[in-house]
Structure 1
């Protein structure tokens, strides 16, 4: 299915492709893998190249406010792109939701996390990694889940915070934390769990993680930035995004 969609994308975007350009894109850490694949599609179909900076949405926002020369932001929430519009730093009307994320509890140990997430109540781990809830929407979602399960007091001494969801994943991947709340996209490959064990957190336990893209004022006339925004909204790229564990 994805191969066929990629072929359609190639045919669609190659026709009349403009002169190749380059754009700097700020990308929420949960979307680090999908954006690599999207960059490859963009370059193959248009010749345009992406220079990608990955980080926590809150920190990327701070960098943009401080003059970082990004042309596009792919955030992990809707609030940050809206705020950039209000700040006068984004093109009005350019925002759209490119994905809806899913939170999972994951361990590199294939026997650690059960399918119901009971490990959170029964213990059996020393450290639980989450992203910083002040700067990373997935971290805020993890805190919301812990609170709704009534486990804040129990789990608080075990929490270790990563600057981004990428760092939270690395804590669990390297064994510095036995379990971590991460994005489903970080642990899936070809639509299936790459390794370890996970609990897919019911979406009733946290607010929807809608992720918006926005064109920044610095990218308003950048052909590569405009082509990326167009590609993200095309039907041809949605199978790729879904295969990484997102809803559209």
Structure 2
């Protein structure tokens, strides 16, 4: 079996934090997805998979949870094998942590649609996003520092490090996998207002109404960016 015929391993940490648009995109490309949640047995290594995607979750990357440590071991195994890894929010934090970088509270939490500053070389991964400066969906209170050898790709005043690449691997602090169904679940089951802090800029935590109003204009554009990113990620398979 060649590398392209092997399934893509996707690690999911919470029932309401599934692959969403990533699953849609993989199906469109006729890629086989092997989805494992925190209660499933994880594979021993990445020898039977062509790529690894790690999703988000409301826990901290530093929490003492066996699934997180198993995920980090698989991230390192994938990198050792040259199997491309992509991390979404918590997934990006686990990538950084596995590589020895610190994960901790970001300057400000971000919930909703937020703009990013893009590195000059970010177009290699994000395509026109680096020029058009879109709003990307965020839901996080922690963030990663850059591991040794990482290339900084994006950030903003609230959270300096929002994306980095190491060779064929990409870590992101934001949620490009979002689709409308997932957004509805998140904004029904979670109240953004509980993340408000004294002294926080008003725009950091957007209301459910504001999030959905912007989604009408932003979600399709973000999914075009996501398609570019995912194509680059799987294009890195050997």
Bigger-Rg structure (1/2): 1
Q: Compare relative contact order (CA 8 Å, sep 6+) and give the higher one, 1 or 2.
A: 1
> Normalising by structure 2, what TM-score?
0.30
